[in-house]
Amino acid sequence: MIDEAFHRRAAGRWSRIRSRPSVQRALALARKAMLVGVIAYLVYKLTQVGWGEVIDNLPVSPWFYLFFVLRFFALPLSEIPAYERVWGIRLWPHVTAFVRKRVYNFAVMGYSGEAFFTLWARRRLGLSDPVVLKGVKDNNILSAFASNLATVALIVALAAGDRLQPGLDALPGAVALFSLAFLSSFVLVAAVMAFGRRVLHVDRRTAVDLICIHSGRMVIVMALHAAMYAAALPTADYVAWFIFIALQLVLSRIPFLPNQDLVFLGAALSLASITGAPEAAIAGMLVAEAGLSQLFNFALFFATAHDAREAPIPGPGERAGRSASDACRAEGARGDGKT
């Protein structure tokens, strides 16, 4: 197991650095500048295509919108059994908190959802701080393991089939972006396989269960994403959609990226030429996808506002009782994982 004192010191040091007003202002300015740059680029690209043509080419197939909804909710719904496996408590009644976590990560900034979810779980679930932090950390490590493994596998499959190069040629800077994503994903996968028992607090059986849950979600999400594009443009090159999916996986590997949906739209517009479909049709489809994402994020942010309201933090006596309860629950989970 990882040294607890070192973990606390590192977390405390990072918290102190991040709480400095100058650091907060710099981070906020960098996020705003990146988002403004992305929006300006989108306006430029869509103006080149023609706004009228984009609107005329919005997807008409109802399957496109059905697949979008299924893909949108695949992440929060798959995280519920994963956290139930770690914490040993029923979490389906709290589905809105998992939805809000997704909204934060995709609409605000990568990993902001984890910050919200950690505070929410600490206040609402009756778990001690160490149990909450270990559960979030282990789930994120194994989710990242599954996501990075999927990124590596997809890039290798596209490269082996000689289908990746057209995408690299179409998108400026794609070679560096895909190379860094591949290397970082490969390194993370290798690190988890080599040192997982030292950095994870869950037992091996639980870790395998979590990897299966997150890997299954990745397969479902990629299949739904490809089906969504194919429903909108059934005559386009089906394999090309997996280059779009690989691009989204690559972008999701970039930490603290603001509004991933808009960043993906800007990058994906450059890949229109590889599909064999009219540029206006690709733009219409991507604008519909990004527009739906922003609409869902906006609506669900307000619909789940009750999860952001603060609940009273328990006192020391109640905390002690919870810690004992957590220990019993953790022992039970370890027993469930034994063969």
Question: Tens-digit pLDDT profile for the chain (339 aa)?
Answer: 444 554 455 545 555 565 667 766 776 676 667 667 667 766 766 676 666 776 777 899 999 999 999 999 999 999 999 999 999 999 999 999 999 999 988 877 767 889 899 989 988 998 888 899 999 999 999 998 999 899 889 999 988 888 888 888 877 777 888 888 888 888 888 888 877 777 888 888 999 999 999 999 999 999 999 999 999 999 888 888 998 998 888 888 777 677 777 788 878 888 888 888 888 888 889 889 988 988 898 899 989 988 877 544 443 344 434 444 444 444 444 444 433
Give dist(CA 26, CA 92) in Å, integer.
38
Do 265 and 292 form a contact (C-beta atoms < 8 A)? no
CA distance 130 to 8: 10
Assign 89 to helix, strand or coil: coil
Of 130, 86, 128, the C-alpha closest to 332 is 86
The tokens for 175 are: 């070679």
Residue 35 within a domain = no
Chain centroid offset of residue 54 CA? 28
Q: C-alpha distances in angstroms, 108 versus 6, 100, 206, 248?
A: 30, 11, 31, 16
**What is the span of the domain harbouring residue 286?**
50-336
Q: At residue 338, what are phi and psi to the nearest 5 degrees? A: -75, 145
Q: Is residue 12 part of a domain?
A: no
Q: How many residues does the chain have?
A: 339
Q: Is 33 within the bounds of a domain? A: no
Q: How far apart are CA 261 and CA 239, in angstroms?
A: 21
The answer to whether 132 touches 86, Cβ cutoff 8 Å, is no
Which one-letter DSSP state was computed for residue 311? P
Kindly report the CA angle at 155 between 244 and 276, in degrees rounded to 5? 35
Is position 4 within any domain? Answer: no
31 lies in some domain: no
Query: Is residue 106 a part of any domain in this protein?
Result: yes
Question: CA 103 from chain center: how many Å?
Answer: 10
Euclidean distance between CA atoms 46 and 238, whole angstroms? 23
- Model pTM score: 0.77
Counts for the chain of helices (H) and strands (E), in that order: 14, 0
To the nearest 10 degrees (0 to 180), the angle between helices 129-160 and 238-252 is: 140
Q: Specify which residues 258 forms β-bridges with.
A: 109
Contacts of 184 (CB under 8 A, 6+ apart): 148, 253
Q: Structurally, how many domains does the chain consist of?
A: 1
User: What phi-psi label fits residue 23: left (phi over 0), alpha (psi between -120 and 50 degrees) or beta?
Assistant: alpha
In eight-state DSSP terms, residue 254 is S
Q: Is position 24 within any domain?
A: no
What is the spatial distance between Cα 168 and Cα 170, in angstroms, rounded to a whole number? 6
Q: Is residue 124 part of a domain?
A: yes
Q: Tell me the sheet residues that pair with 109.
A: 258
Query: Phi/psi at 255 (nearest 5 deg)?
Result: -70, 150
